[in-house]
Structure 1
Amino acid sequence: MPTYGNEHSNPTSQVSWIQQLALLEQQGEACILVSVLEDKGSVPRDAGTKMIVTRNELYATIGGGHLEHLATQMAREMLISIGDGKTDNKIHIERFNLGARLGQCCGGMATLSFEPIGFNQHHLVLFGAGHVAKALVNIVQTLPFKITWVDEREAEFPDYLAPNVHKLVTDDPVGEIKHMPLNSYYLVMTHNHQLDFDLAREILSQDHFSYFGMIGSQTKRKKFDLRLAHRGFEQGTIEKMQCPIGIAIVKGKHPAEIAVSVAGELIAHYQGETLEAKRPLKHNTLVG
């Protein structure tokens, strides 16, 4: 019979799947961890064996054959269903009769668990390490976010960062965008208006984000809209940029007040709420 084993040319070991899981988590890519919970009789792999299934890749193996092929199909159906919001991201357990159900000559029974991983976290790419960004990170790091915090100035970062905050010091912030996971959240609040614009242009060009917000006033927004339009961006694309950012009812110029307002908007977005329209000019005195 055909073998539907690992999709990589070099099967990973049961040690390296842990490393691969950590890498996927760092990249913000959701996956299903398939584990053999129980084995009876003759089965391809013993209890405790694991493999990782993403939408396009397969890491490690639970023994190949029809069992692994069916488990991979089920895992990918889970990924799509959970991603579309059709099912909850709960562990699913399934028992397989390898002889009667799958027609494998080895017979036996195998119980598999399908554990969704990475669905509760959103990936936030934060450009800029100024006072507002520092205040915002203190809040967002307590929410279901993995944060990539980008700035050209290493000295601006705090000495201690939470485990879900990754510092990225680079002299090419714009070039980092193409390396970020699909459907990331983007917040632009750098110290340089030209850099803000370059980042906006690249983020909108990539157009695979869940949310894109930029700190600034209505005046800044109007200027950026015109510049983007002159560079060929359609109005529908430009309007995907949230600027000004934050919840209108939360006013104030103190970094902590602004951070609370912006965090509220992020929460509203991932909870599926419709974001507010642009705030009136008189309520927007934030300086980007």
Structure 2
Amino acid sequence: MSRVIADYLEQASKLAERGVVFATITLVQPEGHVPQDIGAKAIVTQSGLAWGTVGGGRLEARAIEHATAMIVRAMAGADNNKLVDPEMIRYELQRDLNMVCGGAATLFYEISAARNWNIAIFGAGHVAQATVSLLCTFACNVICVDHRQEWLDKIAPRPNLRKILAAEMPDEVQALPVGTFYVCMSQGHATDLPIVRQILKRDQAAFIGVIGSEPKARTLRGALVKEGFTQEAVDKIHCPVGLPIGSNSPAEIAVSIAAQLLQARDALA
């Protein structure tokens, strides 16, 4: 077994053990001036290139873009047992990628077949940062949404994390996978309410949690009932989110939220 294959299997195994959805890209047919040999591999997660290379430059950038789109489709269809078929694409370097060197490269794309636990965190403040960091150690996929790039940048990239910069955060709900676990911890009631509204309208969440106090919870539920949502739907919102343990530090709040998410996940198993 070659060193490249051994390294690939090691990296793929680690990601699979953590439940991370990933795409494997393999260079199956290089033609002309292609900067990698046949069999070159790369692993892409929802956050980008995780391991390896299929040539770098514009070819690899296009490959990562395509693989990431496949991963998004795979995550969206996971709860309906819909698989994303492997794909083989031939790129002519000059025509398709506007590269100076001649030649072509045929790449094979394949998605890992893991069933996934998807958690969406709306907000990237101090508690969200601690929560995301903890959740990324679990076998799950984490999506963090915020409208502030500078706050998203405070969260370190990880293989099972996707950060989304969104001017209108509620608009991101519709594109998330069916059965997503949602936790809202944006800048307060005024920004959390529109997000929760969209989650309830879509009616495909496995869990809805909102950070805040008991008075905030009453205000939130009251506003949603006035808007026409049923009491049954509103009562499914966990607010304050998290188990009643620990202190009010971001790290301990993160532990309480993670513990409640684990409880909710196991209850659905």
TM range (shorter): 0.5 to 0.7
Q: Please give the per-residue CA displacement for 1:135-189, whole angstroms capped at 9, x wherever unaligned.
A: 1111000111211111111011226311211111111101111111111111100
1:151 corresponds to: 146
1:55 corresponds to: 82
Decide which of 182, 202, 211 is 1:206's aligned counterpart: 202
Decide which of 131, 134, 138 is 2:126's aligned counterpart: 131
**Contact (CA 8 Å) 2:211, 2:241: kept in 1 or not?**
yes
Following TM superposition, by how much is the alpha carbon of 1:216 offset from its aligned partner in structure 2, in angstroms? 0.9
Following TM superposition, by how much is the alpha carbon of 1:60 offset from its aligned partner in structure 2, in angstroms? 5.3
TM-score normalised by structure 2 residue count = 0.61
Higher relative contact order (CA 8 A, sep 6+): 2
Following TM superposition, by how much is the alpha carbon of 1:232 offset from its aligned partner in structure 2, in angstroms? 0.4
2:104 corresponds to: none
**C-alpha spacing 1:159/1:245, structure 2 compared with 1 (3 Å):** closer
2:93 corresponds to: none
Letter aligned with residue 261 of structure 2 = L
Letter aligned with residue 213 of structure 2 = S
Confirm or deny that 1:233 pairs with 2:260. no
- Could you tell me which runs of 5 or more consecutive residues in structure 2 were left unpaired when the two chains were aligned: 1-25, 29-42, 44-62, 89-110
State how far apart, in whole Å, the 2-side matches of 1:273 and 1:57 are.
Answer: 25
1:141 corresponds to: 136
Letter aligned with residue 145 of structure 1 = C
Decide which of 162, 171, 174 is 1:175's aligned counterpart: 171
Q: How many residues align?
A: 185
Q: Please give the per-residue CA displacement for 1:1-41, whole angstroms capped at 9, x wherever unaligned.
A: xxxxxxxxxxxxx979x97775443442466xxxxxxxxxx
**Contact (CA 8 Å) 2:246, 2:252: kept in 1 or not?**
yes
1:218 corresponds to: 214
**C-alpha spacing 1:56/1:165, structure 2 compared with 1 (3 Å):** closer
Aligned-residue identity in percent: 27
**Contact (CA 8 Å) 1:25, 1:118: kept in 2 or not?**
no
User: Relative to total residues, which structure has the larger helix share, 1 or 2?
Assistant: 2
Confirm or deny that 1:260 pairs with 2:263. no
**C-alpha spacing 1:255/1:159, structure 2 compared with 1 (3 Å):** closer
- Could you tell me which runs of 5 or more consecutive residues in structure 1 were left unpaired when the two chains were aligned: 1-13, 32-52, 62-114, 275-288
**C-alpha spacing 1:153/1:116, structure 2 compared with 1 (3 Å):** closer
Letter aligned with residue 188 of structure 2 = N
**C-alpha spacing 1:57/1:156, structure 2 compared with 1 (3 Å):** closer
Decide which of 12, 25, 34 is 2:71's aligned counterpart: 25
State how far apart, in whole Å, the 2-side matches of 1:139 and 1:56 are.
Answer: 29
Decide which of 255, 259, 264 is 1:269's aligned counterpart: 264
State how far apart, in whole Å, the 1-side matches of 2:248 and 2:163 are.
Answer: 26
State how far apart, in whole Å, the 2-side matches of 1:179 and 1:140 are.
Answer: 21
Letter aligned with residue 179 of structure 1 = A
The SS at the match of 2:209 is strand
Q: Which moved more, 1:256-265 or 1:158-167?
A: 158-167
State how far apart, in whole Å, the 2-side matches of 1:143 and 1:178 are.
Answer: 24
Alignment of 1:34-73 (within 5 A): 55=82
CA RMSD of aligned residues (A): 3.0
The SS at the match of 2:120 is strand
Following TM superposition, where does structure 1 have runs of at least 4 consecutive aligned residues deviating by more than 4 angstroms?
Answer: 18-22, 56-61
Q: Please give the per-residue CA displacement for 1:41-81, whole angstroms capped at 9, x wherever unaligned.
A: xxxxxxxxxxxx953875559xxxxxxxxxxxxxxxxxxxx
State how far apart, in whole Å, the 1-side matches of 2:166 and 2:223 are.
Answer: 26
Decide which of 197, 207, 220 is 2:193's aligned counterpart: 197
Confirm or deny that 1:247 pairs with 2:243. yes
State how far apart, in whole Å, the 1-side matches of 2:229 and 2:246 are.
Answer: 31
Letter aligned with residue 200 of structure 1 = V
